[in-house]
Amino acid sequence: MSLTKTHKEIDSMRRGGHLLSRALKAAVDAVAPGVTLREVDAIGERVILEGGGTPSFKGYQQSPESTPFPSTICISVNEEVVHGLGNRDRKLKEGDIVGLDIGCWFEGLCTDMAVTVPVGNVTPEARKLMDVTKASLMAGIAAAKVGKEIKDISRAIEACVQPHGYGIVRALVGHGVGHAVHEAPHVPNYVSGRYPKVLIENRMCLALEPMLGLGGDYHVDTAADGWSIVMSDGSLGSHFEVTIAITKEGGAEILTPLPV
């Protein structure tokens, strides 16, 4: 599986990414107190299908023996930082924050994106957590240039987060994307010697996705449903993600424009 994509493949990912962005925008617009996660999921799925795409998370398996993921959108509420089940009848409440992570196949290529949004009025602490998560994503995008290392992306994200004292989730990282939902290379949101040196190449496509915890701890647990990832200290979690294509000519192009 190639780390880079052809110009034709990137063009397909660009079209698929804009479809995905429209689906996520529709899901974000549906978020409100009293709305169920299942209702939000159905809205995002309908936009993808009507646009000629196929949800990439629904039915996804971590291994042949694992339980398939049951929904189009990973919907994570409060202390759930990622991979929350979107087929639940849980109702959103005023003051919640909710992460919406969505992916689709379009013309044989895959894109992936996520945002975390407030449900009505939220605390200043929750708002700041979401703002910093988004800012750290943008810092990572700015550092993604041909000839640099993946580690430069990690360093930029970490440097943006550290002054605020939030925990940077370490158990999960960004990744390559396009031919599969998850591809090489790993793109951690912190600098670590455990990952090999990887140079950023022309036409490399990456999903950058900082995941932060309000409480300052980076540890996470898997919930009883086998999918939802929760902050171990019970604090709020926040997650933002885009798919980018890196070119010599223009640095990083966001293939999945953020709706918020």
What domains are defined for the chain? 7-254 (3.90.230.10)
pLDDT at site 1:
55
Q: Which of 64, 95, 88 is nearest to 224 (CA)?
A: 88
pLDDT at residue 174 in the model: 98
Give the pTM: 0.97
Note the pLDDT tens digit of each residue in 175-191.
Answer: 999 999 999 999 999 99
Query: 155-159, 193-197, 226-230 — which is least confidently predicted?
Result: 193-197
Alpha-carbon span 107 to 54, nearest angstrom: 10
pLDDT tier at 91 (50, 70, 90 boundaries)?
Answer: very high
Half-sphere exposure of 170 (CA within 13 A, CB side): 12
46-51: average pLDDT: 98
Q: Is the pLDDT of residue 250 over 80?
A: no
> pLDDT, tens digit, for every residue of 205-226?
999 999 999 999 999 999 999 9
Quote the CA–CA distance of 33 and 129 in Å, as a whole number: 20
Cα separation of 21 and 223, whole Å? 28
Of the two residues 47 and 64, the one the predictor is more confident about is 47
Structure tokens at 78: 């409060």
Read off the tokens for 245: 């294509």
